[in-house]
Amino acid sequence: MKLHQLKYFIEVVLSGSINEAARRLYISQPTLSKAIKELEKEVGFTLFTRTSTGISLSQDGAEFLSYARQINEQVELLESRYFNKQPSQQLFSISSQHYSFVVDAFVEIIRKYGGSKYQFTIRETRTYEIIDDVKNLTSEVGLLYISAFNEKVLLQLMKEKGLEFNKLFEAAPHIFISQKNPLAKKATVTLEDLEAYPRLTFEQGQYNSFYYSEEIFSTLPSPKSIQVSDRATLFNLLIGLNGYTISTGILSADLDDSEIVQVPLEAEDTIKVGWVVNKKTELSTMAKLFLEELQHTTRHMR
């Protein structure tokens, strides 16, 4: 196995196709295809699944990517330190429930460490898809919450998929509402106070089980309920319909002066937010930097 084979492999992942990767590498498509096939022969498994519509990483290929990336990072550090070579495009991906503080940390690592070339991905998505993304190494890191209600089910699911949950912080539940909502004047609210207002939750698609809900107390009935798929729509409905959603109470700095406010919810349960990683792989340097930034961001917001 040669270093250039690993670089070729990583470039194909970045490009999404053999033809585009060959163009970026300034080599012919047959030369690149041969190099990838030789690498697959050496490692003993298929790195890419090939179809009529293109290629995608196989499950083994996704795991191999994490190790190839680590080796490439170390080589580039040596080249940068001793041969003044510029590092190549950086690759990093996360999947998360709908948390503004995750976006804040993501923005900061790009500002600090993105450099002149990078390809980063952040997916705000459904709970089951976060777990699946990390299992398949589509994302290095997943962000989600567990509570007393769903902890046993989600931790067992993660164990079965070879994943590990690490607690980031634990918070008392709060509601997010418009500052014009009558409840905004209260120091705390109860579940009974919420009954007159629309409850806003994130839809979970085909895995629409209470265990996968992003919101605590999802099993409690609500006479007015609206499901949404993105934060922008949710915030618009909080303002337009005097709705509410239950979350951690951590507002992004960008939202501090907006029409959205948080009010503590009187309840005994807590929300444990944490990151999920695949046990089979070592985190990349960028993933470690992101987690450090995430801890810093949430520490200053709580």
Does residue 251 have a pLDDT over 90?
no
The answer on pLDDT for 84 being more than 70 is no
Contact 281, 63 (CB under 8 A): yes
Side-chain-facing half-sphere of 215: CA atoms under 13 Å: 23
Top-level class of domain 90-301: alpha beta
* Tens of pLDDT, residues 161-218: 999 999 999 999 999 999 999 999 999 999 999 999 999 999 998 888 899 999 999 9
* Per-residue pLDDT, 79: 74
pLDDT class of 301 with cuts at 50, 70, 90: low
Low-confidence winner among 101-105, 183-187, 217-221 (lowest mean pLDDT): 217-221
Lowest mean pLDDT among 117-121, 169-173, 255-259, 266-270: 255-259
Asked whether residue 89 carries a pLDDT value surpassing 70, the answer given is: no
pLDDT band per the 50, 70, 90 thresholds, residue 81: low
Mean pLDDT of the 226-250 span: 94
Question: Are 170 and 270 a contacting pair, CB within 8 Å?
Answer: yes
Of the pLDDT bands very low, low, confident and very high (cuts 50, 70, 90), residue 299 is confident
Question: Two tokens at 69?
Answer: 């990336």
Average pLDDT over every residue of 115-133: 90
In tens, the pLDDT along 43-57 reads 999 998 887 777 888
Per-residue pLDDT at 248: 94
CATH architecture of 3-83: Orthogonal Bundle (1.10)
Map out the domains of the chain as residue ranges.
3-83, 90-301
Average pLDDT along the chain: 89
Higher pLDDT, 76 or 240: 240
The per-residue pLDDT for range 9-34, each reduced to its tens digit, is 988 887 878 898 899 889 999 999 99
pLDDT reading at 263 higher than 90: yes
Q: Is the pLDDT of residue 239 over 70?
A: yes
Tokens of 59: 């499950």
Question: β-pairing, 174-178 with 260-264?
Answer: antiparallel
The yes-or-no verdict on residue 80 having pLDDT over 90 is no
Q: How far is CA 59 from the centre of its chain?
A: 19
pLDDT of res. 209:
86
C-beta atoms surrounding 50 within 10 Å? 11
pLDDT surpassing 70 at residue 253:
no
